[in-house]
Amino acid sequence: MEEKATEISTIGEFGLIDRLTRDFPLRNKSSLKGVGDDCAVMEYKDTEVLVSTDLLVEGIHFDLTYVPLKHLGYKAAVVNFSDIYAMNGHPRQITVSLAISKRFTVEHMEELYSGIRLACDIYGVDLVGGDTTSSRSGLIISVTAIGDAPAGNIAYRSGAKDTDLICVSGDLGAAYMGLQLLEREKVASAGQKDFVPQFSGKEYLIERQLKPEARRDVIENLAKEGIVPTSMMDISDGLSSELLHICKASDCGCRVYEDRIPIDYQTAVMAEELNMNLVTAAMNGGEDYELLFTVPLHAHEAIRKIPGVHVIGHITKPSIGAALITRDGAEIPIRAQGWNHMTPD
C-alpha cells in the first residue's frame, strides 16, 4: 500500500492549521477561546497561572531515524505538562508552533499531531493556539504549556529547608539508557535494508525514552495527603543538575544516598552491557521527567503512602555543600554533568 503524501504547499498555512487542529475540543472551563484568533483567551479567577515553554530542534533534541512522529508529538506535549506538575499545578492549555522543511508532508504533520492529541486526551489539556511556518532545515517544535494552581500550593525551587526529606518519583537513568540503545541500533543498522533492531528485554528503556509520562499521579497523591512540597522540580537534565538547582535557589546543601536512588533492573543490565557506571547514568542521564521534591521531616509517614515515591536523602545547611554518600560511606561532591544542549557534540 502506498502512503499518501500531500505537499503542504497545496493546502497552505491556514489549510494546514485547520486540518491539524480540527479535532481538539476545548474541555477545560478556563479555556474560553482556542485556535483561530490573534490570541487564545483564558480565565483564571481563582488560581494562579503557570507558563512553561520549550523549543525542540531536529538533530539536537530528536532524531527522526528512530523517533516516530507520533511519539515525538506525544513527548513534546508531555514534557511541557511535566514542567507544570513540577510547580504542583495542573496543565490546562497548550500552544504548539511548528517550523517545517519541505521534506515533510501534511500526513507527517498529522502523525505528529495525533501524538499531541493523545497527550492532550490523557492529561486533559486543550490545544489553544500556535504558529505554523516553514524551515530551511528540519523540523522545529515550540510548545508552551499553561496551567494553574491555587495560590498557596505552588512549589518553587526555592523553599527547601535544612532537614527536609529529598524525594524522587519513579526510577532514574532509564530514558538515558534507552537513548544509548537507540543510538547503538541506529549505528548497527547503517546501510542495512531489512535490519531488525534488538530491543528484546529492554522495552522499558525504549518506552522511557520515546514515550515518557508526566507524574500527574504524584501531584494528585500529594494533594490527597495534604502535602505541599517545600520545593520541587522535574528531572529533565539529570538528578545531579536538578539537586544543584534546588540547593542554589533554596540556599542549602544536601546529602543523597547512592543506595536509595531508584534504578530499574533493565537500566542496570544495559549499563553493564555498555560498560557504563550505573550511578553516573542515574544521576546525570536526563530526560527522566520524574519529580524531585522536598518535604518537611514530619511528612515522612504520609510520603510513604504514595506509590512510586522514594526518599533519597535530606537537605542540609548550605555550608556543607551537596554530596552523594556512596554505598561504602564516601562523600562525593555532586557536580552537574547533565544534558547541556548548548554544547552538542
The residues in 76-115 that bind its own copies, with binding defined as CB under 8 A, are 83-84, 86-87, 89, 93, 95, 97-100
- If the CB atoms of residues 79 and 182 are measured against its own copies, the closer one turns out to be 79
- Give the residue with the Cβ less far from its own copies, 41 or 297: 41
If one counts every other C-beta atom within 10 angstroms of the C-beta of residue 308, the result is 15
Q: From the CB of 259, what's the least distance to its own copies, in Å? A: 28
- If binding is defined by CB under 8 A, does position 190 make contact with its own copies? no
Grouping H, G, I as helix, E, B as strand and the rest as coil, residue 88 is coil
Instruction: For the segment 204-233, give every residue that binds its own copies (CB under 8 A).
Output: 232-233
Cβ pair 266, 173 in contact under 8 A: no
Among 22, 27, 33, 103, binds its own copies (CB under 8 A): 33
Phi/psi of residue 3, nearest 5 degrees: -75, 140
Q: Restricting to residues 127-166, which ones interact with its own copies according to CB under 8 A?
A: 128-138, 140, 142, 144, 146-147, 151, 154, 156-158
List, in order, residues 6 or more apart from 30 with CB less than 8 Å away.
42, 43, 44, 92, 93, 148
Contact (CB, 8 A) for 151 and 45? no
Of 163, 198, 326, 340, the one binding its own copies (CB under 8 A) is 340
- Of 247-306, binders to its own copies (CB under 8 A) are 249
Give the interface segment with its own copies, choosing from 115-123, 192-200, 321-329, 337-345 (CB under 8 A): 337-345
Nearest distance in Å: CB 240, its own copies: 13
Nearest 10 degrees: CA dihedral of 186, 190, 194, 199? -20
Q: Which three cell numbers stand for residue 115?
A: 501524538
Nearer to its own copies, 250 or 267 (CB): 250
37 near its own copies, rule: CB under 8 A: yes
344 touches its own copies (CB under 8 A)? yes
Residue 63 or 225: the one with the smaller Cβ distance to its own copies is: 63
Report in angstroms the alpha-carbon separations of 68 from 139, 192, 209, 272.
13, 19, 12, 28
Strand 126-134 versus strand 90-100 pairing type: parallel
Among the listed residues 110, 126, 171, 234, the single contact to its own copies using CB under 8 A: 234
Starting at the earlier edge strand, list the strands of the sheet with 322-325: 231-235, 290-295, 165-169, 309-316, 253-257, 322-325, 331-333
